[in-house]
């Protein structure tokens, strides 16, 4: 069974950025926008430490039982002695510092910020040594598993080997189309899970046998009765620390759910919290789950109620359901499964028909994907009046009397160049087209204006016409007439395809 053990009475006065259990005890570390780091003794239900600083704390982590770190909105990286309450700043980023993790294996502290840098701090000596790596975007989330560092940038997931930072990073194939909000990995299997701002979770599990590899995506909430997708940011994902292959998700609408990663099934869902779920954490033995219910500054219409920390206890099965001689792993697995088998107050496990788990092979079948309006930027893409458009202008109005800010989009049809406009509430979903570009070598031009193109695999493609753009049309005809070796680029989206660019690679 699972039961609400307690709600921590606390003086947290602003949004919670992170909550994390200690590596060997039931002490809980909490960072907050009110510029304080707090340490709670969950067993004793008391606040053991409150350490103020100059800036809002945007994340925190334990290095060991008595040492913790935090990062601030002023870019600072702060070290805390949890026994004495003392603190010191070991360094800083050039811009807001947003993420921090500690590695048990290498003893490194890893931070990231809006300065588009990963910084690796070696704190083993009095003079802290820092090594930085430039990345190609703002880091959304970090996760350390063994000697691997997972980094979420935009909608991409990257992995570094902490033992050899000179080695070029490995870029994982983008598991989702929308921006990644959180990333989490597990030390017990080679894999990870990411949560996106549009409510999807992507899971990748690797094993020693390729036949057991698994990659899929799903939405935490099924479609509504009107057929529209439920677009709510997945704010945090945590794997069971005992290596059972299950993980918990928390989203911006206050829902917390436990999932079976290998069997693709939801095990249970907690009653909805009054605020967003900002952070989740398992205790070291997976017997306690901490849920930080707090606004997250992601939406204009968030309710700024005081943050709360809820602690849930995962109790053992009733006598006879698990033998006293069961191994820790077997017993823990039974505990996880009992959450939905033995507790009537929670939802039953959902059927596969209600949650659709989509493999990578299926992911490209859709012509569009949903994205929250407030996350679509200039030079991105959007569907307006059933046409694929490039966004050339976007503006957001102030929150109205009904609590919704609205986005005004101006787009240009990528095929016919027509200007289209649309207005959408910032928290609602828009359709975004999949847009691809493919290069072909030009072989011939027929009298009726069709092009004969050579594909990468050596076959020919004969179904594309000359472009209607007069400048591009003239360049293709003139270059072909002069005997030049030409490569044309075809843009395709929503079932349409058109030549959009030309490359001259020299004479034939």
Q: What is the dihedral of CA 192, 196, 200, 203, to 10 degrees?
A: -10
**Per-residue model confidence (pLDDT) at position 126:** 80
Structure confidence by residue, pLDDT tens digits, 440-461: 999 999 988 899 999 888 889 9
Structure confidence by residue, pLDDT tens digits, 449-497: 899 999 888 889 989 999 988 999 999 999 999 888 999 999 999 889 9
**CA pair distance 190, 179, nearest whole angstrom:** 23
Question: Mind giving me the DSSP string for 444-502?
Answer: EE-TTSEEEEE-TTS-EEEEEEPPS-HHHHHHHHHHHHTTEEEEEEEEEETTEEEEEEE
Share of the chain above pLDDT 70, in %: 80
Does residue 240 surpass a pLDDT of 60? yes
Q: State mean pLDDT over 202-224.
A: 72
**CA pair distance 441, 439, nearest whole angstrom:** 7
Domains and CATH numbers, the chain: 2-358 (2.130.10.10), 366-433 (2.30.30.30), 436-507 (2.40.50.140)
**CA pair distance 222, 230, nearest whole angstrom:** 7
Rounded to a whole number of angstroms, the distance between the first and last alpha carbons of the chain is: 74
- 78, 72 in Cβ contact below 8 A? yes
The residue whose two tokens read 């044309």 is 488
**Which stretches does DSSP call E strand in 252-386?**
256-260, 265-269, 277-282, 288-293, 308-314, 358-359, 368-372, 381-384
> By mean pLDDT, which of 70-79, 90-99, 175-184 is the weakest?
175-184
Structure confidence by residue, pLDDT tens digits, 191-207: 789 999 888 899 987 75
Question: Across the chain, what does the average pLDDT equal?
Answer: 82
Tell me the whole-structure pTM to 2 decimals.
0.67
**Per-residue model confidence (pLDDT) at position 4:** 53
211: left (phi over 0), alpha (psi -120 to 50) or beta: alpha
Q: Which residues pair with 111 in a beta bridge?
A: 100, 119
Q: Which residues pair with 99 in a beta bridge?
A: 112
**Per-residue model confidence (pLDDT) at position 191:** 79
**Per-residue model confidence (pLDDT) at position 69:** 97
Structure confidence by residue, pLDDT tens digits, 288-336: 999 999 988 765 455 567 899 999 987 533 333 333 333 333 333 333 3
> By mean pLDDT, which of 228-237, 263-272, 399-408 is the weakest?
399-408
**Per-residue model confidence (pLDDT) at position 154:** 85
Q: State mean pLDDT over 33-57.
A: 93
**CA pair distance 479, 472, nearest whole angstrom:** 11
Q: Taking the CA atoms of 367, 404, 257 and 56 in sequence, report the sign of the dihedral they define.
A: positive
What is the SS3 assignment for 489-506? EEEEECCEEEEEEEEEEE
Q: State mean pLDDT over 259-278.
A: 89
Split at pLDDT 50, 70, 90, the class of 210 is low
Split at pLDDT 50, 70, 90, the class of 217 is confident
**Per-residue model confidence (pLDDT) at position 476:** 94
Q: How many CB atoms lie within 10 A of CB 8?
A: 22
């Amino acid at each position: 069974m699972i039961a609400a053990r307690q709600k921590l009475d606390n003086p947290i006065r602003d949004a919670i950025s992170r909550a994390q259990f200690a590596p060997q005890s039931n002490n809980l570390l909490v960072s907050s926008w009110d510029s304080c780091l707090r340490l709670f003794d969950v067993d004793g239900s008391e606040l053991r430490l409150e350490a103020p600083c100059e800036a809002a704390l945007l994340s925190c982590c334990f290095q060991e039982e008595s040492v913790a770190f935090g990062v601030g909105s002023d870019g600072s990286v702060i070290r805390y002695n949890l026994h004495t309450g003392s603190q010191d700043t070991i360094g800083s980023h050039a811009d807001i510092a947003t993420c921090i993790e500690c590695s048990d294996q290498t003893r490194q502290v890893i931070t990231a910020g809006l300065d588009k840098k990963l910084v690796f701090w070696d704190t083993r000596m009095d003079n802290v040594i820092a090594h930085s790596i430039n990345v190609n975007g703002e880091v959304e989330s970090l996760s350390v598993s063994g000697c691997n560092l997972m980094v979420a940038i935009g909608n991409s997931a990257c992995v570094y080997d902490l033992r050899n930072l000179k080695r070029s990073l490995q870029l994982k194939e983008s598991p989702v189309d929308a921006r990644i909000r959180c990333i989490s990995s597990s030390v017990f299997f080679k894999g990870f899970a990411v949560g996106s701002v549009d409510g999807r979770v992507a899971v990748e599990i690797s094993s020693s046998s390729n036949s057991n590899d698994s990659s899929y995506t799903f939405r935490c909430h099924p479609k509504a009765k009107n057929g529209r997708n439920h677009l709510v940011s997945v704010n945090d994902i945590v794997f069971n620390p005992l290596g059972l292959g299950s993980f918990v998700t928390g989203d911006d609408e206050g829902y917390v759910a436990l999932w079976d990663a290998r069997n693709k099934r939801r095990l249970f869902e907690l009653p909805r919290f009054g605020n967003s779920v900002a952070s989740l954490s398992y205790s070291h033995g997976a017997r306690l789950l901490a849920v930080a219910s707090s606004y997250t500054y992601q939406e204009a219409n968030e309710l700024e109620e005081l943050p709360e920390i809820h602690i849930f206890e995962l109790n053992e099965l009733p006598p006879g359901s698990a033998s006293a001689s069961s191994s820790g792993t077997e017993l823990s697995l039974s505990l996880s499964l009992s959450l939905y088998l033995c507790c009537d107050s929670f939802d039953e496990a959902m059927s596969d028909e209600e949650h659709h788990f989509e493999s990578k092979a299926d992911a490209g079948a859709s012509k569009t994907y949903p994205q929250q309006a407030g996350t679509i930027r200039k030079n991105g893409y959007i569907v307006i009046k059933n046409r694929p458009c490039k966004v050339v202008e976007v503006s957001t109005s102030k929150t109205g009397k009904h609590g919704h800010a609205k986005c005004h989009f101006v787009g240009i049809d990528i095929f016919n160049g027509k200007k289209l406009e649309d207005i959408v509430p910032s928290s609602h979903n828009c359709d975004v087209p999949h847009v691809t570009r493919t290069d072909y070598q030009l072989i011939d031009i027929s009298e009726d204006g069709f092009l004969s193109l050579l594909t990468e695999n050596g076959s020919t493609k004969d179904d594309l016409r000359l472009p209607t753009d007069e400048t591009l049309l003239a360049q293709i005809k003139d270059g072909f007439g002069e005997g030049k070796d030409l490569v044309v680029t075809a843009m395709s989206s929503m079932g349409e395809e058109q030549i959009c660019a030309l490359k001259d690679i020299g004479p034939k």
